[in-house]
């Protein structure tokens, strides 16, 4: 009884087209796992940083002092800190503009936070479309390799007078490997995409809630006539 063919043997025995399909699927799988680990790290960090900043924000710290702390991070400002930094900076600047009423101040503040929010969402959603694409097309790429392999196997059978199972089985096995590899690449990508999409949606909800709550605080200051006199911007220390 002949020894069973290994995956490597099946790859070597496959036609050139099926081999190219297998190589493509391996590369897609590697890319998928690399993006999964990278996105997992980014999203976990975003959740932790948002939780940490909100604890600091609601601890009763002076907003001007908190603004200075966030500004000291420079280009490392991300997430909820980015929304706060952009909103408070615009709020303080508009409060110094002559003839700027409360409506103008709050409109500018909300606009600045919306821009910051949009940029943060773009950062969190980076590469998710790649995962979705891999999850969608990998089974079809594998299926193409399978169809091509089976087609070649039956064409080869047409040139012999008597077909046997031993003749057709290796060709079909080589073809089916492509389908298996397509599923191997697609399943983790689809699972990760769904998980990360839900995670991004949760973080997005936290950003929106924080922006609304922060807007309410600044609006109360505006309506109460409490100017941001302690703002670092009013002291000539713009970020």
The whole-angstrom separation of Cα 184 and Cα 139 is 9
| 3-state SS assignment for residue 140 | helix
pLDDT at res. 238: 41
Residue 71 lies in a domain: yes
**Domain that residue 112 falls in:** 7-224
Residue 99 lies in a domain: yes
Distances in Å between the alpha carbon of 34 and those of 21, 23, 128, 184? 20, 17, 12, 15
b/e 41-53 (16+ beta carbons within 10 angstroms → b): ebbeebeeebeeb
Residue 21 lies in a domain: yes
Tens of pLDDT, residues 27-60: 999 999 999 999 999 999 999 999 999 999 998 8
The share of the chain scoring above pLDDT 70, in percent, equals: 80
Interval 123-127 mean pLDDT: 93
Q: Which of 181, 72, 196 lies closest to 131 in space, CA to CA? A: 196
Residue 198 has pLDDT above 70, yes or no: yes
Residue 130 lies in a domain: yes
Residue 185 lies in a domain: yes
Interval 143-164 mean pLDDT: 75
The whole-angstrom separation of Cα 148 and Cα 141 is 11
CB 125 within 8 A of CB 199: no
Residue 239 lies in a domain: no
- The mean pLDDT value of the chain amounts to 83
The share of the chain scoring above pLDDT 90, in percent, equals: 51
What is the tally of structural domains in the chain?
A: 1
Q: What six digits make up the tokens of 224?
A: 């109460």
Residue 235 lies in a domain: no
165 alpha carbon, distance to own chain's centre: 48
The whole-angstrom separation of Cα 133 and Cα 32 is 10
Residue 236 lies in a domain: no
Q: Residue 222: which pLDDT band, with cuts at 50, 70 and 90?
A: confident
Report the predicted TM-score, pTM, of the whole model to 2 decimal places.
Answer: 0.80
Interval 65-72 mean pLDDT: 91
């Amino acid at each position: 009884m002949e020894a069973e063919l290994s995956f490597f043997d099946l790859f070597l025995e496959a036609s050139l087209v099926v081999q190219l399909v297998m190589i493509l699927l391996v590369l897609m799988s590697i890319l998928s796992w690399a993006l999964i680990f990278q996105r997992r790290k980014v999203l976990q960090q975003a959740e932790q940083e948002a939780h940490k900043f909100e604890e600091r924000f609601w601890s009763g710290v002076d907003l001007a002092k908190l603004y200075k702390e966030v500004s000291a991070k420079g280009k490392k400002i991300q997430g909820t800190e980015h929304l706060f930094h952009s909103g408070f900076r615009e709020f303080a600047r508009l409060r110094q503009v002559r003839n700027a009423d409360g409506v103008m101040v709050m409109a500018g503040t909300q606009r600045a936070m919306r821009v910051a929010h949009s940029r943060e969402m773009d950062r969190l959603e980076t590469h998710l479309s790649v995962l979705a694409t891999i999850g969608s097309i990998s089974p079809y790429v594998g299926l193409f390799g399978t169809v091509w392999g089976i087609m070649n196997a039956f064409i080869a059978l047409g040139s012999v007078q008597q077909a046997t199972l031993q003749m057709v089985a290796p060709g079909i096995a080589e073809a089916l490997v492509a389908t298996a590899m397509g599923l191997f690449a697609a399943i983790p990508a689809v699972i990760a995409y769904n998980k990360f999409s839900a995670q991004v949606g949760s973080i997005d909800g936290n950003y929106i809630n924080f922006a609304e709550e922060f807007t309410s605080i600044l609006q109360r200051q505006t309506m109460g006539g409490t100017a941001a006199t302690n703002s670092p911007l009013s002291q000539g220390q713009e970020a």
